[in-house]
Amino acid sequence: MNDNPMWDKLQSLRSAMPRSVKETEVLRVAGILLGNDPQKSAGDARQEVLRWVQRRCGGRLPPKAWGFEDFDYLAGGRNSAGVRIQTEDSDIWAIRADDPDKSVAGRIWTTEVVVGLGKEEPPRFSARLIVSSTEDQVNIVPHSPGFIQQVVEKVGLARGRYPVTAHPRIIQSEADYMELTEGLLDKNRQLPILALTIADDSTNTEMPAIDAYALNRATIGLAHVVVVPSEFTWRLTQDFGRRHSVFGGAVRAYLPGFSPDEPPYPHRLIVADRLSDENGREQCVRLMRTLAANESIHRTQINRNILTFASVRNTSLRLQQEQMSDASETEQLSMAKSRIDALERELDESKGEMDYFDAEHKSAIERAEAAEDQARSYGYRIHSLTAQLKEQGGTSSIESDLPETWPQFTMWVDENLSGLVVLAPRARKNSKNPQFENMGLTIRCLKWLAETGRSHFLQGGGSIREAEVEAGIRNAHCGGDQFEFDWQGNRYTADWHIKNGGNTRDPSRCLRIYYCWDDASQQIVVADLPAHRRTGAT
């Protein structure tokens, strides 16, 4: 019981009030309609969408709907509305349809579709799925609306340079494999690739552990589903390395931006052992469907990749209002009210989107804080184990295969110096493709920091100022070259650096590793490398 009686009364009033309805956007689909005749492709896509809406509206849509004209259809919770804008340069048709959930009372599914035509441009297609409910948390497994499958089969749809397929793609030839790897590495790819592999001992070379066809239907327009037989998974391992590959019946989601030179962790991997029973397979399918839907929201921008129904209707009403300057006051007032309603709807959608990203932001902060705490605990654990190893006469020297190219450098540091040395964002960026040629020297210097440098900061004793790292390379205070930088939400000062002699500024031969010590995580934080940093003192 709260000590403040007014608080108790307020809580009592709140509990008696009806619960507010919250809108949650589930997924977004965007793409280009295929076909040689843009007008026909756009018309066929509209027809497929209207047929889908017709089956769910609880009655018959009005003739205006089938003529692609403005319409409103009210049917007790199964409402639908359409709007069309035609100008000399564009033809935009939009529809919005509500459909009550068949099993959860008060839950309403809303689908929006926009088909747009421009001069000398292929028709654009976009769709949104939204759920409205009073539930505190809506627990659903996203599924692409059925009309997406129909549009893909009857008209054709592409996202970027990759067509959306009605069935999963099965890798069967060298050409298929080359197209797969090209797509995986394409920096302009916009959709995830869900790679389903087949176990080496499977008797069916086209049947992975989970139903590829059902997964394709559920994620059509959101992801590309690919089945990779075992003979091609070995090629993936050879080309990308074991940690970036997928094989043996496992499933992996390759997100846009994949590179074998980057850490593999963002690209979710479900190993075959987790797919050995029905529960594990269901969890995998749920994860892949949710991942594809979430990625569609994060990577598809409103008013750039897609248009909302509210924005199209508001624009249509504004144009009509401008054309009614000579109409009666009653007609103008009615039009103004309609436009106000449309603006309020658009505002509600904007608020809903802001609430969504605000919740995502808070969730990201919580994950980041948890990750920082975990990283600190790992640092303490590494320090403890290293000390125990030395006490028992062992060695903590870092021995590992060195990377062959600069793009592999950051991943090598993450894997081999974790808890000892960490690269701040600028150091990661500047080590992707630097002009400095001697990557081996850079790695040896980081090893020195991980062992000698870190031991000094932890235990003290003596000085590492002007300490020799190796012949011609020394450790020193930055002096006038020190600078501030941000790492994990905190401000640090890079007051140390490792440098080579010769007084050269040639970026191919001049080495600088700027760093500081972080007491909280007990590790070296590298602010920038491998080039000399231009500052006011330079």
Q: How many helices (H) and strands (E) does the chain have?
A: 14, 21
459-480 pLDDT per residue, tens: 776 678 888 899 889 999 998 8
Residue 4 has a pLDDT of 63
Alpha-carbon span 78 to 74, nearest angstrom = 7
Average pLDDT of span 139-166: 96
The class (CATH top level) of 166-299 is: alpha beta
Q: What is the percent of the chain where pLDDT is above 90?
A: 49
Residue 253 has a pLDDT of 97
In the sheet that 421-423 helps form, which strands lie side by side, from edge to edge? 421-423, 523-528, 512-518, 496-500, 473-477, 467-470
Asked if the model's pLDDT at residue 235 lies above 60, the reply is: yes
Name the residue with tokens 């916009």: 190
384-432 pLDDT per residue, tens: 666 667 677 665 556 567 788 888 898 888 888 888 899 998 999 899 8
Alpha-carbon span 170 to 168, nearest angstrom = 6
Backbone angles phi, psi at 264, to 5 degrees: -85, -10
Q: What HEC string does 325-348 produce? A: CCCCHHHHHHHHHHHHHHHHHHHH
What element of type H or E holds 33? strand 22-33
- Residues 219 and 225 sit within 8 Å (Cβ to Cβ): yes
Q: How many CB atoms lie within 10 A of CB 294?
A: 15
Determine whether 112 is exposed, middle or buried from the number of CB atoms within 10 Å of its CB (0-12, 13-18, 19+). buried
Tokens of 95: 């529809």
361-379 pLDDT per residue, tens: 666 666 666 666 566 556 6
Asked if the model's pLDDT at residue 538 lies above 60, the reply is: no
500-512 pLDDT per residue, tens: 876 667 788 889 9
Tokens of 434: 């630097």
pTM of the model: 0.73
Alpha-carbon span 529 to 538, nearest angstrom = 16
Asked if the model's pLDDT at residue 192 lies above 60, the reply is: yes
- Candidate ranges 459-463, 496-500, 533-537; pick with highest mean pLDDT: 496-500
Name the residue with tokens 């297609």: 125
Tokens of 164: 């959306």
Residue 17 has a pLDDT of 56
Nearest to 270 by CA among 290, 295, 247: 247
Asked if the model's pLDDT at residue 513 lies above 90, the reply is: yes
